[in-house]
Every structure is written in C-alpha cells, then in structure tokens.
Structure 1
C-alpha cells in the first residue's frame, strides 16, 4: 500500500528533465559552490592570520 502511493507521487522523469537538471547543476550550482568554498577558505586563512599573525619560516 505504501509503495503504491510513493510510486504514484514520484512519477516518470523524462530525458529532457534530466538534461535540464544536469545543466543547472553543472553550469550554475557547481561554480557557485566552488566559489563559496574557495572564498570561505581564503577568508578563514585571512582571519587566522589576523588573530595569530603571519606564518613564520
């Protein structure tokens, strides 16, 4: 019973929907997430250097 209602709600995904999902993920979401991660790491290094001073060699 439960599986019947779940299968009815899920529906069928077309190839066109899969292509649009891939394009959104690959073209928009991945670069934005990469920028956020790199920017966040750079910001954290900057803040750590402000608190603890520059690295000494």
Structure 2
C-alpha cells in the first residue's frame, strides 16, 4: 500500500508555487523559443534545398 502524502499543507503549497514559477517563468518560454527556432531552422533548410517561394518558373 502507498503511504498517504505526509507533507504539511503549507510545505506542499510552497513546493507547488515553486514548481509553477519554474514552469511559467523558465520552462514554457524556453520551450516556445526552441519550437519557433526549430520551425524556422526547418523552413530555412527546406528553402536551401528547394529554393525560396515564388511564382512557378
């Protein structure tokens, strides 16, 4: 059987606040920059091989 959570509610609340701040201030912005940068890099590499968009030749 699993032990019930024995953390004091105040301690758990502080842990959850720290985790939320880590996610909101660090993790999500870093992930957003990585996703947008990765997409931009993929488009750049695609255009390097296929050519830039434009009217058909």
TM range (shorter): 0.7 to 0.9
Displaced runs of 4 or more, over 3 A: 10-13
**Residue deviations 1:27-47 (CA, integer Å, cap 9, x gap):** 000000000000000000000
What TM-score do you get using the length of structure 1 for normalisation?
0.79
| CA distance, structure 1, for counterparts of residue 38 and residue 50 of structure 2 | 18
CA shift for structure 1 position 56? 1.2
| CA distance, structure 2, for counterparts of residue 40 and residue 28 of structure 1 | 18
For structure 1, the 5+ residue unaligned runs are none
More helix per residue: 1 or 2? 1
What TM-score do you get using the length of structure 2 for normalisation?
0.79
Aligned to 1:34: 32
Q: CA RMSD in A?
A: 1.7
Mean Cα deviation higher: 46-55 or 10-19: 10-19
